[in-house]
Chains A and B, each alone.
Chain A
Amino acid sequence: MAILLHYGVRNLRTRKLTTVLTAGGMALVVFVFAAVLMLDAGLRAALVATGQYDNIVVTRRAAGTEIQSIVDREQAAIATSQPEIAIGASAGRLASREVVVLIALRQRNTGVPTNVGIRGLEPSGLALRPQVRVTAGRMFSPGAAEVVVGKSIAERFDDARMGGMLRFGGRTWAVVGVFDGGGSAFDSEIWADSDQLMQSFRRMAYSSVVARLADPQAYEALKTRLEGDPRLTLEVKRERVFYEEQSQTLSNFIRYLGITLSVIFSIGAMVGAMITMYTSVANRTAEIGTLRALGFRRTSILAAFLFEAVLIALVGCVAGLLLASVMQLVHVSTLNWDSFSEISFRFTLTPGIVLQAFIFAIAMGVIGGLLPALRAARLKIVDALRSG
């Protein structure tokens, strides 16, 4: 059997151009397949990193996003005073009543107006997001017309760079710092003081309440009580679930489009593999006859040709994955349809995607190589020897 495997490898090396072209086609398919999964993984990673497991988000019922949600002061006060919510450092509750609005900013390179989310937080809001670090400048001071901007906002919008001035809500705001949200959706946000923001936009109500649970297990109890309270029109979700739901439309779109494309493209690549393998079998009829005459079984011949097809697929897979891993350097910014604001994320290669790509490539190789390999295995010794 080892001889036959060696034979397959040597054959690929002899027909270099054909091997390269076939593997090249497969590499492109694997590249598209992996790139789509990486995009989806990146989007999910960004949104999962945004939510903390033991945080909850309280919004108006059926609002879905913070932009659509309205939580008035009275309801916010009830929500923040629940016993399940942790006590913060300064003896207050570890809860932040927040307001989120969208403003249109012009992008640096293209000048295209883009919706950017501005979040107004209370001081405890920072403690609720341990993944956020200020990397340049300082945090905004409560009560001042100051903002800090997410990393990806600072990179992409002229006015939002460190030391710049932003004009919105009838006031001018100084950019006093840049923060790194650790790849989360916060990287695409601008943060300011909650009360200042509400006054500027003449809002009477908050958008949401974010709070830390003292005991993560108490979530169900809190949810049941708050949602059952007839005074309130609120909905409680774990922060992680809340952000996951926000990625759903975009994630499904990327996934469906990507899987459909991969399947269609793989037909093309499998056809390519089939052509190569059929030719390879036809050209080597006499050799196959010789092998059979030497005593190799039909199953061994079948295995040898399948192995050859899979080998081409594997070469293609490795090349495709290498190409795809370069994509990790690329940042994607697009409108998130659920939250209606800009989100920025990175192509992310995970071990799971590598595994899926290999399975996908091997499947392409097996399907493309099976029929030709069967033809090779079925050849009669006499006919095969005569044909040479």
Chain B
Amino acid sequence: MYWLKLALRNALRHRLRTALTVLGLVVAILSFGLLQTIVDAWYAGANNASPNRLVTRNAVSLTFPMPLSYRDKIRAVPGVHAVATANWFGGIYIDKKNFFPQFAVDPAAYFGMYREYVVADDEWRAFLRDRKGVIVGRKLAQTYGFKIGDTVPLQGTIFPGVWQFNVRAIYEGAQPGTDTSQFFFHWDYLNETVRARYPGRANQVGVFVVEIDNPDQAAEVSGAIDATFRNSIAETLTETERSFQIGFVKQTEAIVIAIRIVSFVVIFIILAVMANTMAMTARERSAEYATLKALGFGPGVVVLLIFGESLAIAGVGCLLGVGLTFPVGDWFAARMGTLFPVFEVSGGTVALQFACAFAVGAIAAIFPSRRAATVRIVDGLRAIG
């Protein structure tokens, strides 16, 4: 206890230096936490995927559609519980930078599968009654100020023209991690309009979302669906929703890796700063450590003092940094709008922050404490800071 107190007192001797070091640590731990959270956000779609949902798409690539007639054939495959159609709309809301995902879905089937999207009954009925109705997520509604009854114009990129939608319902997420930044409207509305404007492009479906009875049968059912359409005009590729989402993440993996690397670089930067502080501190106190040794204390005590001081500074910086991660994370998520549908600081991130801070504190103390422990008393007493 006594030694701990001495170590803490030591830390407070150069208040300015300690304060600056703590500041550096706070910045580093904070940015490390944010970067880890960004990486988590990247994988959020995959983590929210349900094991009993499959996604069937055209085997050539996602940009190729499939005929609507596949819906009934998929439904007839043993083990399939329900099938919903979904088309990526890719519309622009006012400006290209206002990006959010828009899907044309067949509502009863789709929302029957995605039970994590919670819609109030009266709003749901209002949406079903309106051909141009749309259900928006809570987060999306907050970002762009959509209210029930608003008209939202979208400039189509895949389906040309300006499309008007009426906000009829706002869905909530069942869990905090649920993506509420999406925009769903009637697949029939899309199809009818396309049929009127471009007859050749009607009855084409982007993906089929398939719900299966038993998640353990995912592989068999996927295989059976793909076998049904082998050697047809549009061969299919069916995979679990999770691997479908992972497929997207994998394609931008270079960026995720870069962010990961950078988040560890910041730890190295702060390690350099912290090690520097401890090296200077120990150098200044060479004479004191020598005195302690001359009084008969072993080298272990000196090592303990230096480690105690280093870990105390790292600990304070870490606590402040972790404490700030939550409010700054919320602010960042609000600023980014719907770019990151889910932005939650996870327990794993906080644990990593603590681990890194501890490692920085410990590593920074190794070199000075070794020198202080091994230096001869005479040399230590003679040393000038």
Contact = CB atoms under 8 A, between A and B. Distances in A.
> Does A associate with B in a complex?
yes
B157 A275 contact: no
A233 B59 CA distance: 31
A275 B156 contact: no
B251 A335 contact: yes
Contact of A267 (B24, B62, B155, B275): B24
Contact of B21 (A204, A254, A275): A275
B273 A272 contact: yes
Interface string A34-62: 00000100000000000000000000111
Contacts of A269: 269, 273
A87 interface: no
From A103, A170, A279, residue with most partner B Cβ within 10 Å = A279
Contact of A102 (B62, B277, B280): B62
A29 B266 CA distance: 8
Contacts of B272: 21-22, 24-25, 28, 272
B54 to A, nearest CB: 16
Given A25-B273, A279-B17, 16 more contacts: A62-B160, A64-B96, A101-B60, A101-B63, A104-B60, A104-B62, A201-B60, A253-B255, A264-B31, A265-B266, A267-B23, A268-B273, A269-B273, A275-B276, A275-B280, A342-B251
Contacts of B27: 264, 267-268, 271
Interface stretch (A4-12, A106-114, A300-308): A106-114
10 contacts: A25-B276, A61-B160, A62-B155, A101-B64, A170-B233, A265-B266, A268-B270, A272-B276, A276-B280, A335-B252
B379 interface: no
A199 B275 CA distance: 66
A268 B28 contact: yes
A236 B20 CA distance: 56
Interface of B: 16-17, 20-21, 23-24, 27-28, 30-31, 35, 59-64, 90, 92, 96, 155-158, 160, 200, 233, 237, 247-248, 250-255, 258-259, 262, 265-266, 268-270, 272-273, 275-277, 279-280, 284, 367, 385
A68 interface: yes
A359 interface: no
A130 B17 CA distance: 60
A67 to B, nearest CB: 6
Contacts of A101: 60-61, 63-64
A131 interface: no
Interface of A: 17-18, 21-22, 24-25, 28-29, 31-32, 39, 60-64, 67-68, 101-104, 110, 112-115, 168-170, 201-202, 204, 233, 253-254, 257, 261, 264-265, 267-269, 271-272, 274-276, 278-279, 283, 332-335, 337, 340, 342
A67 B248 CA distance: 18
Secondary structure type dominating chain B contacts: helix
Contacts of B92: 62
Residue among B92, B258, B273 with most chain A CB within 10 A: B273
A183 B254 CA distance: 18
Contact of A63 (B16, B62, B157): B157
Contact of B61 (A61, A102, A276): A102
A257 B275 CA distance: 28
Contacts of B255: 253-254, 334
Contacts of A257: 259
A32 B158 CA distance: 38
Contacts of A274: 20
B61 A333 contact: no
A28 B61 contact: no
A115 B61 contact: yes
A332 B257 CA distance: 11
Give 9 closest A-B pairs by Cβ, nearest first: A335-B251, A272-B273, A25-B272, A271-B24, A21-B276, A334-B254, A102-B61, A112-B250, A24-B272
Contacts of A110: 250
A265 B269 CA distance: 8
B251 A334 contact: yes
A114 B269 contact: no
B368 to A, nearest CB: 9
A41 to B, nearest CB: 15
A340 B63 contact: yes
A115 B273 contact: no
A102 B59 CA distance: 11
A275 B270 contact: no
